[in-house]
Amino acid sequence: MSFDECKTALQNSCICVLPTETVYGLACSAFSPKAVDKVFSLKNRPTSNPLIVHVLDHVEASKISYTNKFSEKLAKAFWPGPLTMVLPKKECIPYKISADLDTVAIRSPSHREFRKMLRSVKFPIAAPSANKSNKISPTRYQDVLSEFGNDCPPIVDGGSCQIGIESTVLDLTTDIPEILRLGSCSKEDIESVICCEVNSPEGKCKIDNFTSKSRKSPGQMKKHYAPETPLYIYPSFEKLISDSFSEDSDVILLPSKNYIIKNSGAELTIQYLSKKGDPKEIAQNLYHSLRFLDNFRKDKMFTSLFPWDNGVLSAVNDRLIRASTACI
């Protein structure tokens, strides 16, 4: 499916799928309430969950929101890229996009094809991740096709997404800026640019704060980016590889080939997120690996959280926690 077909869809209040550097997005004109309805409907997304609007740069952002000194500095430092800023919205943004809030989430994606589309249609593009609500975001063309099947809108194939997890969402409408969703743009990255404190949920994504006491049922989770196969989280990767697995029906997700399962009497399906444990590569492969393992339709999936102190791995931990059924 071609770029032109997607462009025509956007211009005619229809929807299409575009690649970004984070994940693929289900795109529509941010000025067309009719097209926004189609996005919510195909995703089965509750209308209470607002969409991100994509623009070329900070000047374009200032046409649809009330920008400020912080947004200007952050855009200079991180745009185009995986940082979404929540700002007071201007009237031109329909309330359907903002879920009746007076704010709008905005980012400028760096993917070449998405930018080409923004230049071509000359209006801002709203795009949530191109997956059914509460499922895993797609990071490859094939993942989008398998997500929507026969209902799939036209897609621009942009290869596999370089970053692999969704953007950092930063609320700039509160007294102290607050990270609402962790991503590859870290709290430290943001603080160093605006020279002030930023609130973040980071601590909750550390292994010490995620124990069987804190996590008993998926119902406790706010959101559930779940694979079909139940995912269980071990207290550490060391504990995971030293356990005895006897079930052929188990699958295991490990950071790198340095981890070798010792006591297995079973034909385990093992997936490595990275060759050598590189954090960027781990993030890049996370969603595709979960989808790949899910396709085996086995009984249980096992992994652990990352103990290493690194911005993007906190975001990976956050997604693993949301994808998990329970911890062990």
Site for ligand TXA in 44-63 (CB under 6 A): 49-52
Stretch that binds ligand TXA, among 32-40, 62-70, 99-107, 249-257 (CB under 6 A): 99-107
Report how far residue 287's alpha carbon sits from residue 270's, in angstroms, rounded to the nearest whole number. 15
Nearer to Mg ion, 45 or 89 (CB): 45
- Dihedral sign, Cα of residue 156, residue 50, residue 95, residue 54: negative
How many C-beta atoms surround the C-beta of residue 243 within 10 A?
Answer: 15
Pairing of strands 178-181, 168-171: antiparallel
Nearer to Mg ion, 147 or 250 (CB): 147
Least distance in angstroms from the C-beta of 66 to ligand TXA: 13
Q: Does 20 bind ligand TXA (CB under 6 A)?
A: yes
Q: Does 184 bind ligand TXA (CB under 6 A)?
A: no
Stretch that binds ligand TXA, among 59-67, 144-152, 164-172, 226-234 (CB under 6 A): 164-172
HEC secondary structure over 273-307: CCCCCCHHHHHHHHHHHHHHHHCCCCCEEEEECCC
Nearer to ligand TXA, 165 or 251 (CB): 165
Show the site string, 117-146: x = touches Mg ion by CB under 5 A, - = not.
Answer: ------------x-----------------
Stretch that binds ligand TXA, among 18-26, 30-38, 55-63, 197-205 (CB under 6 A): 18-26
Reduced to 3 states (helix: H, G, I; strand: E, B; else coil), residue 198 is: coil
> Do 138 and 130 meet the contact criterion of CB atoms below 8 Å apart?
yes
Q: Does 167 bind ligand TXA (CB under 6 A)?
A: yes
How many C-beta atoms surround the C-beta of residue 261 within 10 A?
Answer: 16
Spatial CB neighbours of 142, under 8 Å, sequence gap ≥ 6: none
Q: Does 212 bind ligand TXA (CB under 6 A)?
A: no
Task: Identify which of 159, 138, 167 has the alpha carbon closest to the alpha carbon of residue 80.
Answer: 167
Contact residues toward Mg ion (CB under 5 A) are 129
Contact residues toward ligand TXA (CB under 6 A) are 20, 22-23, 25, 49-52, 82, 84, 86, 98, 101, 103-105, 107, 109, 127-129, 166-167, 169, 180-181
